[in-house]
Structure 1
Amino acid sequence: MKEITKSAKTVEEAVKEALKELRLENDEVEIEVLEEASKGLFGFLGTKDAKVKVTERVVPEKRAGRILRQIFNYMEIEVEINSSDYKDYTKIDLSGPDLGILIGRRGDTLDSLQYYINLAANKKAEKRVKFIIDVEGYRQRRQETLSRLALKLADKAKRKGRNVVLEPMNPHERRVIHTALQDHKEVFTYSEGEEPYRKIIISPKK
Structure 2
Amino acid sequence: MNSTNLDDYLAELGISDAAESVPPPAPDAPAPVQANPEEHEEPRVVLERFLTGLVSRIDPGLQVTVRQTEDALEAEITGENAARLAGRDGRTLGAIEVLAYTVLAKVEGRNEGRVRVDIGGYRKRQAETLSRLAERLAVQVAKSGEPHELQPMPPAERRVLHVALKDHPDVTTESVGEGAARRLIIKPRHG
TM-score relative to the length of structure 2: 0.69
Partner Cα separation in structure 2 for residue 167 and residue 3 of structure 1: 43
CA RMSD of aligned residues (A): 3.1
The answer as to 2:39 corresponding to 1:57 is yes
Percent identity, aligned pairs only, is 31
Shift of 1:56: 6.7
Counterpart CA distance in 1 for 2:116 and 2:103 is 14
Write out per-residue CA displacement over residues 34-73 of structure 1, whole angstroms, 9 at most, x where no aligned residue.
Answer: xxxxxxxxxxxxxxxxxxxxx7734233332333233324
Taking the aligned partners of 2:175 and 2:110, their CA distance within structure 1 comes to 33
Q: Does structure 2 conserve the Cα–Cα contact (< 8 Å) formed by 1:79 and 1:96? A: yes
Give 1 or 2: higher helix fraction.
2
Aligned partner of 1:47 in structure 2 is none
Q: Distance in 1 between matches of 2:81 and 2:90?
A: 15
Alignment CA distance shift 1:193-1:104 (3 Å): farther
User: What is the correspondence of 1:16-31 to structure 2 with a 5 Å cutoff?
Assistant: 24=32
1:153: Cα distance to partner?
A: 0.3
Q: Give unmatched runs, 5+ long, in structure 2.
A: 1-15, 20-26
More strand by percentage: 1
**Compared with structure 1, are the counterparts of its residues 61 and 182 closer, same or farther at alpha carbon in structure 2 (3 Å cutoff)?**
closer
Query: Which residue does the alignment assign to 2:164?
Result: 180
TM-score by length of 1: 0.65
SS of alignment partner, residue 82 of structure 1 = strand
- Alpha-carbon shift at residue 114 of structure 1 (Å): 1.1
Relative distance call for 1:132 and 1:113 in structure 2 (3 A) is: same
Structure 2 match to 1:204: 188
Question: Which of 115, 118, 121 does residue 137 from structure 1 map onto?
Answer: 121
Given the alignment, which residue of 50, 58, 64 partners 1:75? 58
Deviation at 1:105, TM superposition (A): 3.5
Matched, 1:150 2:134: yes
Deviation string 1:162-189 (CA, Å, 9 cap, x unpaired) is: 1212122111110111121122222221
1:97 to 71, 80, 83: 80
Which stretch of the first structure deviates more once superposed, 115-124 or 99-108?
A: 99-108
Give the secondary structure class of the aligned counterpart of 2:162: helix
- Does the C-alpha gap of structure 1 residues 205 and 76 become closer, same or farther in structure 2, counting only changes over 3 Å? closer
What corresponds to 1:2 in structure 2? 17
Q: Aligned letter for 2:144? A: K
Aligned residue in 2 for 1:14: none
Larger Rg: 1
Query: Is the Cα–Cα contact under 8 Å of residues 2 and 56 in structure 1 kept in the other structure?
Result: no
Cross-structure match for 2:102: 119
Amino acid at match of 1:199: R
- Asked whether the equivalents of residues 177 and 183 of structure 2 are also in contact (C-alpha less than 8 Å), the reply is yes
Q: Summarize deviations over 1:137-175 as a string: whole Å, max 9, x none.
A: 332222222111111101111222212121221111101
